[in-house]
């Protein structure tokens, strides 16, 4: 699937600046921004994740969702840019299963957390308050929105049901079922 990439020009619209929280500065390169519109398994939109390329490398990630159960939720970039369900050979359906496994561009085969030496797609747990609202902003140097092996454009972001313990036991840190998903692509204006 070919994804359109948005490269806002210097002097971007006020709406775009408000979304990414960054203003263009004279003499600086344009900011590259992508988004994932996060939905639950019924297709209800819960919020958005934005991914802003940082000129020194890496990505600033901002997530704002509502409608999730309170608590900590594992949060990961997954290999494929599809939020479709996947049915196995026994007929069992995995919500958002077509997203594939955790994105591991370095081929570590391990799940060691956002600051560990494991999957590059491991993010900090998302904290959801009693009203069902989760919001976070963080930076990762292990991923990119530029073409290359760490590029996340055309992949997906998954919010899991449980807290991630950032180990390989149980598999994938015990984050549990996939509660919400968004395909990373063009930012809708």
Residues annotated as part of the active site: 76, 78, 102, 110, 119, 122, 160, 178
Task: Return the half-sphere exposure (C-beta side, CA atoms, 13 A cut-off) of residue 102.
Answer: 29
- Tell me the β-bridge partners of 62: 50, 137
C-beta of residue 131 within 8 angstroms of C-beta of residue 139: no
Report the 10 Å Cβ neighbour count for 85: 15
Which DSSP string corresponds to 30-98? PPPEEEEEEEETT--EEEEEEEEE-TTSSEEEEEEEESPPSEEE-EEEESSS----EE-TTS-EETTGG
Report the C-alpha gap between 63 and 137 in whole angstroms.
Answer: 6
């Amino acid at each position: 699937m070919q994804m359109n990439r948005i490269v806002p020009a210097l002097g971007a619209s006020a709406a775009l600046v408000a979304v990414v929280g960054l203003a263009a500065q004279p003499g600086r390169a344009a900011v590259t921004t992508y988004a994932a519109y996060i939905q639950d398994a019924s297709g209800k939109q819960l919020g958005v994740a934005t991914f802003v390329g940082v000129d020194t490398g890496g990505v600033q990630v901002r997530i704002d969702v509502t409608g999730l159960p309170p608590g900590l939720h594992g949060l990961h970039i997954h290999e494929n840019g599809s939020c479709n369900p996947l049915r196995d050979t026994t007929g069992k359906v995995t919500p958002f299963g077509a997203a594939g496994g955790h994105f591991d561009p370095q081929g570590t085969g391990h799940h060691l957390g956002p600051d560990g030496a494991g999957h590059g797609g491991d993010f900090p747990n998302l904290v959801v308050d009693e009203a069902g609202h989760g919001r976070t902003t963080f930076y990762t140097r292990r991923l990119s929105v530029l073409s290359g092996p760490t590029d996340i454009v055309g992949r997906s972001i998954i919010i899991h049901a449980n807290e991630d313990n950032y180990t390989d036991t149980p598999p994938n840190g015990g984050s549990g079922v996939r509660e919400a998903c968004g395909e990373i692509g063009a930012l809708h204006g």
